[in-house]
Structure 1
Amino acid sequence: MTGTDAAGLRLAGLLDDYSLEMTGKDVDELTAARDLLAAGTRVNITFLGSEDLSLRLRAAAAVRAQGFTPVPHISARRLSSRAELADFLGALHRAGAADNVFVAGGDPDPHGPFDDALSVIESGLLEPHGVRRVGVAGYPEGHPRIPDPVLWLTLTGKLAALRSRGLAAEVITQFGFDADPVLDWIATVRERGIDAPIRVGVPGPAGLRRLVRYAARLGVATSAGLAQRYGADLLATAGPDDFLRALATDYHPDRHGQVKLHFYTFGGLRATARWISDFRDADDEPTL
């Protein structure tokens, strides 16, 4: 088998069982993309400050009703009380959508008793409401406001807390545009003895101006060269073709462990699902 063939097989494996994101307002987009997604696809539902509990619950119920796996987000600092967290989890449980959640600290100052994701994990409220698997964030290129040593302590602390509570864990990374720092970070994760599955954040197809804006806001280190990499036209749309192929070329399961992909749908859920389907079809075509 040639190196190109091996990379192609690794790329196919990475694209198997990918996950993606939606907001509470994207139910129609999900419905439009239904035929493009495999049954059971994990769909993360973001916890936006502009969306209320009922909107998030309707989205989670719609994901489940259409045959996919809902992964509701919990933003620790946006919660005003333990009661609000318990109410949210209880409603998810009644909707059959509490098995999988993603817990993040969130951007604002704390609105209540939860300072970070770890405080939600240690609240004791997840397990009795049916949560079985918890996703936590990883930052291959660092965080604009948190030093790297703190990020490592935070990641290991969250994973240790989940393990002690008998909860399965996975890490979903911030998106990036260069595969090298992502793979180097994953290798370091494994060297530190962390064996949790990792989903690499991938920016779905979107306008360059939007990608640059999100990258700058979230502190993605490679954002400065984004326009040069894809071209000077900020009105153009870019897909993650090169990123995925570079990732597959240098990804080695024996070194990097279990890795899958998580698509951030900046350009729309249906557009992202269509792009993935077209990319997979094109990648499967034989070359002459």
Structure 2
Amino acid sequence: MTGTSDTPSISFELFPPKTEAGVTRLRDTVAQLSAADPEYFSVTYGAGGTTRDRTARIVEMVANRTGLPVAHHFTCVGASRAEIDRQAQAFWDNGMHRIVALRGDLPAGQSLPEDGYNDAAELVAALRRKGDFDISVAAYPEVHPEARDAAADMDHLKRKIDNGAARAITQYAFDTDTVLRFVDRARAAGIDAPIVAGIMPVANFEGLKRFSAGCGASVPDWMGQMFDGLDDAPETRAMVATGVAAEQCRRLMEAGITDFHFYTLNQPKVTLAVCRTLGLTPSIVAENAA
């Protein structure tokens, strides 16, 4: 399903909590987010597969709790081809057919195995050999930090699509014009698959700046001005964050981009507020709902 100019399509990314208390809170978060009628949820996978068991547990919990599709993130770093192939076969055999395929970040001190898949394009091809997976891949409007240049990064995205990915989900970029230019370049490069805009609602601005520095996403000066002095004003900060994300979605919809993937960071408040501004939340579940 894809959205139209009047009815955008949304999906939500979650991460597997480290504690039982976090899992309990995530159950409440999932109940709240489900009110926005997302197309699917996705659950992240730690560097080198370090959260494999927790990711699988959360995927199962979200699927059982919502009845909606759940995409399992899957990375290939830190594992041999045989290990990846076995895991892919297990996904298929267990009915886990929606995958977000990523190369992934290596844990500190590790290098790529000589007998492993080198990148996400090779991982997509390996998944396709095991079954007719619904595969999403990552795209980088501001260019992947390890890419030689923008042209090489676009060539790699095309390899991922050509190898069998159904869609690309962008890394978040707060400069909407950057996203629109990227989509234009992708179309000019012959990439016809849907491009889903990644949206990052701001929960903690200082934390966002640190995270963005590590993943190559720029934070415009105007955002710093908007969030300055709001560290101890959570309600005002949430309202500002809602306005920033909603305005970006509005501009993207005007340009014909209607599929949005929200990086929720397991915090539903701002994401739900943005969805309501888009007319997608018919009801709000109480924040402490079971």
The verdict on a shared fold, with TM-score over 0.5 as the criterion, is yes
* Corresponding residue of 1:4: none
Aligned length: 260
Of 136, 144, 149, which aligns to 2:151? 149
| 1:246/1:276 CA distance change after superposition, 3 Å | closer
| 1:92/1:223 CA distance change after superposition, 3 Å | farther
* Corresponding residue of 1:138: 139
Instruction: Provide TM-score, normalisation by structure 1.
Output: 0.78
Partner of 2:166, secondary structure, is strand
Deviations 1:220-269 (A, max 9, x none): 1235553124334455535242343244236456xx5x541111123x24
Quick check: 1:31 aligned with 2:27?
A: yes
- Using the alignment, how far apart are the partners of 1:140 and 1:170 within structure 2? 15
1:283 to partner: Cα distance? 10
| Residue segments in structure 2 that go unaligned for 5+ positions in a row | 283-290
1:185 to partner: Cα distance? 1.2
* Corresponding residue of 2:286: none
- Using the alignment, how far apart are the partners of 1:277 and 1:156 within structure 2? 31
- Using the alignment, how far apart are the partners of 2:196 and 2:275 within structure 1? 19
- Using the alignment, how far apart are the partners of 1:132 and 1:278 within structure 2? 32
- Using the alignment, how far apart are the partners of 1:150 and 1:280 within structure 2? 35
Of 241, 244, 247, which aligns to 2:243? 241
Confirm or deny: 8 A CA contact 2:81 2:116 kept in the other structure: yes
Quick check: 1:73 aligned with 2:69?
A: no
CA RMSD of aligned residues (A): 2.9
Confirm or deny: 8 A CA contact 1:29 1:270 kept in the other structure: no
Instruction: Provide TM-score, normalisation by structure 2.
Output: 0.77
Confirm or deny: 8 A CA contact 1:42 1:70 kept in the other structure: yes
* Corresponding residue of 1:263: 262
Alignment of 1:223-238 (within 5 A): 223=220, 225-234=222-231, 237-238=237-238
Deviations 1:99-151 (A, max 9, x none): 2111112222424511100111233x4443x4421111111112222121210
Matching residue's letter, 1:139 = Y
Greater relative contact order: 1 or 2 (C-alpha under 8 angstroms, separation 6 or more)?
Answer: 2
| 1:96/1:271 CA distance change after superposition, 3 Å | farther
Of stretches 102-111 and 228-237 in structure 1, the one that deviates more from structure 2 is 228-237
- Using the alignment, how far apart are the partners of 2:38 and 2:92 within structure 1? 18
Confirm or deny: 8 A CA contact 1:104 1:116 kept in the other structure: yes
* Corresponding residue of 2:273: 275
Partner of 1:83, secondary structure, is helix
| Residue segments in structure 1 that go unaligned for 5+ positions in a row | 1-8, 163-167
Alignment of 1:1-288 (within 5 A): 10=5, 12-14=6-8, 17-25=9-17, 27-32=23-28, 33-37=30-34, 38=36, 41-49=39-47, 51-66=50-65, 67-78=67-78, 80-97=79-96, 99-108=97-106, 109-111=111-113, 113-123=116-126, 125-128=127-130, 130-146=131-147, 147-162=149-164, 169-223=166-220, 225-234=222-231, 237-238=237-238, 239-249=241-251, 251-252=253-254, 256=256, 259-266=258-265, 268-280=266-278
| 1:74/1:235 CA distance change after superposition, 3 Å | farther
1:61 to partner: Cα distance? 1.5
- Using the alignment, how far apart are the partners of 1:207 and 1:183 within structure 2? 26
Partner of 1:77, secondary structure, is coil
| 1:131/1:223 CA distance change after superposition, 3 Å | farther
1:202 to partner: Cα distance? 0.7
Confirm or deny: 8 A CA contact 2:100 2:135 kept in the other structure: yes
- Using the alignment, how far apart are the partners of 2:205 and 2:76 within structure 1? 31
Confirm or deny: 8 A CA contact 1:200 1:261 kept in the other structure: yes
Partner of 2:7, secondary structure, is helix
Confirm or deny: 8 A CA contact 1:44 1:73 kept in the other structure: yes
Q: Percent identity?
A: 24
1:194 to partner: Cα distance? 1.7
- Using the alignment, how far apart are the partners of 1:273 and 1:242 within structure 2? 11
Partner of 1:122, secondary structure, is helix
* Corresponding residue of 2:285: none
